[in-house]
Amino acid sequence: MAELIRPDERVRESFLAAMAEFRAEGRGDIADRTMVGQEIRDYRQSWDTPEGFRRFVAGLRARALEGTPRPEGHVPDTTLWWVDGSEYLGRLAIRHRLTPILLELGGHIGYDVRPSARRRGHATAMLRAALPVAFGLGIERALITCDDTNVASRKVIESNGGILEDQRTNKLRFWVPAKISPLVDHLVWGQIRVSGFGNLKDAKLFPGGAREWDWAETGTRHSPGIQPADTDELISHGATVIVLSRGMDQRLEVMPDTVRHLERLGIEVHVHESREAVKRYNELALTRPTGALIHSTC
């Protein structure tokens, strides 16, 4: 299953193949003002060696830091790659704040899918996975722009809740809510992979983000189980429906007081074995502000 990761030198071979696809369609020439075009022009020669590619990856990661030197007028940006295993499928960058130029034309988020991976839903999925990451950077509404002739990109933005504000020159400007619930990419014993947030042992999921669910914070144990206090953070982030998992072997209990507490608040509650809980959570998170507590072992 495809997921967002930080730039990683381990996908170099597939990355280079993708860049060759982009160059074959004319990307990277002096008129190409896209992120991919800029990277091809600036870094193509350094990609020829593993060491050069390693420096390129380190540079991309460093761009997210406030203290990294950058050209005047540029802002920090978080670059993420969309991959399926070792296959590079596309890239996305989240600019941490808007300059006057970005407010006019560029927006917060830009993305590209490699030519051979297009028309398979990757752009829509990649953007959706990035929105909670953007929210974690303090972006409540992400500005995303596309050319007025780019029907496919407009559909991607609107599929993720984008609302058209206006058109400036040839650019359509959309505002997209970033406070959405991240999806779970994969669950195995002892590990939960959350799109945009990496691997967690136990997970708290909520509109706008995810983090490790540390039972020690509330003194939770398998019995008597999940307490009302475990759900407070999910509620504070605006979850209107909450999924509680009981573990892979259903040894984790749920206190009756927890369910009653949530129901008194008007919150819909679902209690399931962990694999079924992940499935239900992902279904609900596509359309509703959803929270979850997922336990990855017994």
CATH of the domain at 99: 3.40.630.30
Domain stop point among 177, 203, 228: 177
CA proximity to 150, closest of 167, 171, 126, 123:
171
Strand order in the sheet with 87-95: 3-5, 77-84, 87-95, 109-113
CB 254 within 8 A of CB 231: no
Domain stop point among 127, 162, 177: 177
Amino acid found at 162: G
Quick check: helix, strand or coil at residue 239?
A: coil
The Cα–Cα gap between 253 and 277 comes to: 14
Helix (H) or strand (E) holding 232: helix 232-236
Domain that holds residue 34: 3-177
Domain stop point among 162, 177, 192: 177
Average pLDDT, whole number, for the chain? 96
At residue 122, φ and ψ (nearest 5 deg) are -70, -40
pLDDT at 181: 97
The Cα–Cα gap between 26 and 33 comes to: 12
CB 200 within 8 A of CB 194: yes
- Residue 265's Cβ-side half-sphere holds a number of Cα atoms within 13 Å equal to 19
* Nearby residues of 28 by Cβ (< 8 Å), 6 or more positions away: 22, 36, 37, 40, 41, 44
CB atoms within 10 A of CB 188: 11
Q: Are residue 225 and residue 115 in the same domain, yes or no?
A: no
pTM of the model: 0.89
Q: Are residue 94 and residue 230 in the same domain, yes or no?
A: no
Q: Are residue 137 and residue 192 in the same domain, yes or no?
A: no
Res 240 pLDDT > 90? yes
The Cα–Cα gap between 116 and 22 comes to: 10
Tell me what the mean pLDDT of segment 246-261 comes to.
98
Q: Are residue 242 and residue 198 in the same domain, yes or no?
A: yes
Res 252 pLDDT > 90? yes
Q: If 0-12 CB within 10 Å is exposed, 13-18 middle and 19+ buried, where does residue 11 land?
A: buried
pLDDT digits (tens, 9 = 90+) for 11-65: 999 999 999 999 999 999 988 888 899 999 999 999 999 999 999 999 999 999 9
Backbone dihedral region of 161: left (phi > 0), alpha (psi from -120 to 50 degrees) or beta? left
Q: Are residue 35 and residue 159 in the same domain, yes or no?
A: yes
220 band by pLDDT with thresholds 50, 70 and 90: very high
CA proximity to 278, closest of 182, 136, 161:
182
Tell me how many domains the chain contains. 2
Check whether the bond before 224 is cis (ω within 30° of 0). yes
CB 184 within 8 A of CB 281: yes
Beta strands 268-272 and 241-245 are: parallel
pLDDT at 30: 87
CA proximity to 84, closest of 52, 35, 121, 44:
121
Q: Are residue 44 and residue 116 in the same domain, yes or no?
A: yes
pLDDT digits (tens, 9 = 90+) for 76-102: 999 999 999 999 999 999 999 999 999
Q: Are residue 192 and residue 172 in the same domain, yes or no?
A: no
pLDDT at 214: 98
